[in-house]
Structure 1
Amino acid sequence: MTRTAETAEILQVLQQVLGSSSTSKPIVLHEPDFSGTQAWAYVKDCLDTGWVSTAGQWVSRFEQELCAVTGASHAVAVTNGTVALRLALHLLGVGPGDEVLLPPLSFVATANAGAHLGAVPHFVDINAITLGLCPEALTERLERIAERTPAGLFNRETGRRLAALLPVHVFGHPADLPGLLTVAEAWGLPVVEDAAEALGSWRDHAGKASHCGLFGAIGTLSFNGNKLISTGGGGALLTHDAQLAQRARHLSTTAKLPHPWAFEHDEVAWNDRLPNLNAALGVAQLEDLSRRLEAKRQLAERYAQAFAGVEGVELVSEPQGCRSNHWLVSLRFTAADPAEAQAQRQSLLEVAHAGGILLRPVWQSLHLLPMYADAPRGPLAVAEDQAARLLNLPSSPQLLEGRD
C-alpha cells in the first residue's frame, strides 16, 4: 500500500469516529467544556461577593475536592502546572547547580521548572509501553555516573548534585512508579511526579490503587485550557506530607505571616496562589469528573474498535495494572524504520489539518531544544524512536455526545 493510500485509510477511520469537519468548523485536540455544570453560578458567586482574587471559599473547596477525588491528604492550588512543579522541586531542596533526572519525552515545563531554580535537567530514557521513565534505564544511568558522598548523590562526570527524580505520566498513562520508586529509594533520590496530564489516572501498587502524583513526596497537576479539568490556568500540588503542604501554602502566598493587618514576611517566596474565580470553575468541573472520565474511556474504546485491523498503526494503550484517564488518545506508527514512521505521520498531519481535524505530533524532545542541547543525558534510543512515531488524536470528552 502506498503512503497516500495509508493516509487515506487512517483519515477515513478518523472521520468514522469523529464525524464531519472543515477548516471553518475544525475538530480540535482537546477543548474545555462547562456545559451541564454549575460553572456560571459559582463564578457569579465570586462576582457577587467580590471574592475574585487569591482568597475565598472556592479555593478551599477546590483543594478539598481535589483531595476527595485523588485520595491526597493535602492539595495546594496554584496558578499553573509549571509553578506547581517549580515549587515542588524547591520544597525538596532543588537549587542552583543541581541536576534533576527526567525524561526527554514531555512538555517543556518539566525541564523549565527546574531551570527556573537554576538547576539542570539530566535526561534518562523512557519505556516504550508506558512512555514514562524507564526504571532499567535509570538504574543503568545511575550506576554509570552517580557517586555517593557524605554530602549527597553526585554526578561524577559533571560534579553536580543529583537532587531529584522527576517522572512524567505522559498523556495520562501512569509511569512505572513502583519500579522507579525502588530505584529512587536505593539511591536516596526524592521523587516529584509530573502528573499534569493525569487527573483521574490510577496505578496498582502494594495491593491497592494509588492516584498518580501520590507515589513520591509530591505530585503536581495542571488545569490548563486543554486539560480534563480547566480553570483557564491553574495547577496544584498533591501530597500526604502535612509539613510539605504547609510550607507549600506559605511559600505560595509570599511567605506572609498571619496577622489582621501587618505585612510581615519571613523569607523570599512567590505569589503563586490560584484566584477564587479560577477555583470556582474547577469545583464545577470536579463535580462532573466521573462522567468525563467515563466519556474519555468510551472515546478511547471507540478509537480502538475503529483502528482494529488497520495496518501500520496502533493505539497507545493503558499499561497493565493501571487505569488511565486517556487524556490524549495517541496513535503510534509501527514501521520498522522510524524515519518512515515519521514521514507517514507528516503525511497524515498535512491531510488531516487541511480537512479540519487538528491532530498533533508529540512535543519536540526536550534534549533537542536549544536551551537544553548541552544538558547531561544517558542513551535515549527509545525516546528518540517513539518521538518519531507518536500522534495525538482529538480527545475532548464531549466528542461522542449526540453520536450513537
Structure 2
Amino acid sequence: MKETIDFIRAHYQSEGFIPLHEPFFSGNEKEYLSECIDTTFVSSVGKFVDKFEQDIAKYTGAKFAIATVNGTAALHIALQLAGVKKNHEVITQSLTFIATCNAVSYIGAHPIFIDVDRETMGLSPEKLEHFLSTGTHMENGHCINNATKRIIKVVVPMHTFGIPINLDELKTVCQKYNLQIVEDAAESLGSYQNNVHTGTKGLLGTLSFNGNKTITTGGGGMILTNDEKLAKQAKHLTTTAKIPHRWDFEHDRVGYNYRMPNINAALGCAQLEKLPEILKEKRGLAKKYEVFFKDKAARFVTEPKNTVANYWLNAIVLDDAPNKDMFLTTTNDAGVMTRPIWKLMSSLPMFKDAQKGNLENSIWLEERVINIPSSVKR
C-alpha cells in the first residue's frame, strides 16, 4: 500500500492531503460569473441557462437538453415523463448511488433490484432477461410483476463511475417487454458506447454537475431526450408548471421549482469549454493507473470493448475482500483519500423489503471495489 500511496503522491506532486476528486477551474469561470452579477441575472432566467442547454445537447448528440437544479431532480422528472406513477415498479441496480432510488421513491413507485455485470458494474442484460422471462407476464401491453401484480414501467441502468454499460443489449431486452429506459448517466459525461453518448439511447437520460463530477455547475443536472414533446413537458414541469404570461400566475398542474439558476449555468458553460482538456488528462491518469496496478493485488477498472469511458472516478477491484478495510484505513490515514463503492441499496433500511434478484455480482463488487484519487492535476 505504501507503493500505491507513493505513486499517487508522485503523480500529484504533493505531500499534503490528496482529495478523491476536486473541481478543475482554468478557463472563463470568473468572467462568466462576473457577467451574471453585473447583469443581475443570477436566478433561473438568463442567457447562460439557454447556452448551457444548447451546448450540452450539441456535445452529447441529444436533440434536447433541459437544465435542472441537480441530477436527482432531473431523474425525478424523467421518470414521470416516462410514465412512472404511484405504485408502479421500476427496475434498477442495487449497486448504485442513493439518488437513483430516491427519485423512484419520490413518485411513490417501488424499486426492483437486478444484478450488475462485473466488468461494467452496471445493470446486467442477462440477469434482467432472466427476471423478466421467469417473473413477469404481459397484460394489455403492460409488463406485470407475477409476485406483486404491479405494473413494471421503466428500467433505470446506471453508468457506474462513467463506465458505459452494454445498453444495446439491454435495450433489446426491454423492447420485448414494452419497458422504457431512463438512463442514469449522472457520472458519465464524455462516455460513449459504440460512438453514442451515454444518456441518449433511452427514452430519456440524466446528467449530474455536482461539485465532484467531471465538470461542475456547483449543483446541477440535465435531462436529455430526442423527443420534442417530452422536452417541452420537462421544461414546463421544472418551471413550476407555469403557463407563460406577461404578468399572470397560472399553473396547470403540480410542478417543481427545478430550473437551474443562470449563475450555475454560467459556471457550466465555462467548464464545458475545458471538457476535452479535462477528459484527456483523466484518460492519461487512468492509463498510468492501469500500468501501475498490472502486477498488483488489484485490478484497475478499464473501459469495456466498444466503449469510451470518461474515467470520472478511477476504481480498483481488490483480489481479496478482507483487505478492503486495511487499504481504506492505510491510505486515508496517510492523507490520500480513497472510498469504497456504495453499500447496496437493498441493504438500506428503506429498501430492505424491496424485491430483488440474485445479487451475487453486486455483493462481490461491494466487497472489493475502491475509488482512488481522480482529480485533474493542477
TM range (shorter): over 0.9
Stretches of structure 1 lacking an aligned partner (at least 5 in a row)? 1-6, 336-340
- Alignment match, 1:281: 267
Please give the secondary structure, in 2, of the residue aligned with 1:396. coil
Percent sequence identity over aligned pairs: 42
- Alignment match, 2:92: 102
Stretches of structure 2 lacking an aligned partner (at least 5 in a row)? none
- Alignment match, 1:161: 151
Please give the secondary structure, in 2, of the residue aligned with 1:330. strand
Superimposed CA distance per residue, residues 249-283 of structure 1 (whole angstroms, 9 cap, x where no aligned partner): 01100111111111111111111000000000000
- Aligned 8 A contact 1:251 1:269 in 2: yes
Question: Structure 1 residue aligned with 2:305, among 320, 325, 328?
Answer: 320
1:292 and 2:278 matched: yes
- Alignment match, 2:25: 34
Q: TM-score, normalised by structure 2?
A: 0.98
CA RMSD of aligned residues (A): 1.1
TM-fit CA distance, 1:150: 1.2
Alpha-carbon separation, structure 2, partners of 1:10 and 1:357? 10
Q: TM-score, normalised by structure 1?
A: 0.92
Superimposed CA distance per residue, residues 315-345 of structure 1 (whole angstroms, 9 cap, x where no aligned partner): 011010000000011011123xxxxx2x212
1:14 and 2:8 matched: yes
Alpha-carbon separation, structure 1, partners of 2:369 and 2:206? 24
Please give the secondary structure, in 2, of the residue aligned with 1:391. strand
Please give the secondary structure, in 1, of the residue aligned with 2:268. helix
Alpha-carbon separation, structure 1, partners of 2:51 and 2:6? 45
Question: Structure 2 residue aligned with 1:352, among 316, 331, 351?
Answer: 331
Please give the secondary structure, in 2, of the residue aligned with 1:148. strand
TM-fit CA distance, 1:14: 3.4
Alpha-carbon separation, structure 1, partners of 2:276 and 2:207? 17
Alpha-carbon separation, structure 1, partners of 2:49 and 2:295? 48
Question: Structure 2 residue aligned with 1:213, among 168, 175, 199?
Answer: 199
Alpha-carbon separation, structure 2, partners of 1:140 and 1:279? 42
Alpha-carbon separation, structure 2, partners of 1:366 and 1:175? 19
Please give the secondary structure, in 2, of the residue aligned with 1:257. coil
1:378 and 2:357 matched: yes
- Alignment match, 1:364: 343
1:188 and 2:190 matched: no
Alpha-carbon separation, structure 2, partners of 1:31 and 1:118? 34
Superimposed CA distance per residue, residues 215-238 of structure 1 (whole angstroms, 9 cap, x where no aligned partner): 100000000010011111100001
- Aligned 8 A contact 1:172 1:199 in 2: yes
- Alignment match, 2:50: 60
In the TM superposition, 1:20-169 aligns within 5 A as 20-21=14-15, 25-35=16-26, 37-150=27-140, 152-169=142-159
The one-letter code matched in structure 2 to 1:68 is: K
Alpha-carbon separation, structure 1, partners of 2:176 and 2:242? 38
Alpha-carbon separation, structure 2, partners of 1:306 and 1:151? 52
Alignment size in residue pairs: 378
The one-letter code matched in structure 1 to 2:122 is: G
- Aligned 8 A contact 2:341 2:369 in 1: yes
- Alignment match, 2:243: 257
TM-fit CA distance, 1:16: 4.1
TM-fit CA distance, 1:11: 3.3
TM-fit CA distance, 1:153: 1.1
- Aligned 8 A contact 2:154 2:180 in 1: yes
Alpha-carbon separation, structure 1, partners of 2:13 and 2:101? 37
Runs of 4+ off more than 2 Å: 7-21
In the TM superposition, 1:388-399 aligns within 5 A as 388-397=367-376, 399=377
- Alignment match, 2:161: 171
The one-letter code matched in structure 2 to 1:17 is: H
- Alignment match, 1:3: none
Alpha-carbon separation, structure 2, partners of 1:137 and 1:85? 23
- Aligned 8 A contact 1:228 1:327 in 2: yes
- Aligned 8 A contact 2:123 2:165 in 1: yes
- Aligned 8 A contact 1:11 1:348 in 2: no
- Alignment match, 1:235: 221
Question: Kindly tell me: are residues 151 and 320 of structure 1, through their superposed partners in 2, closer, same or farther at Cα, counting changes over 3 Å?
Answer: closer
The one-letter code matched in structure 2 to 1:328 is: L
Question: Structure 2 residue aligned with 1:309, among 295, 298, 305?
Answer: 295
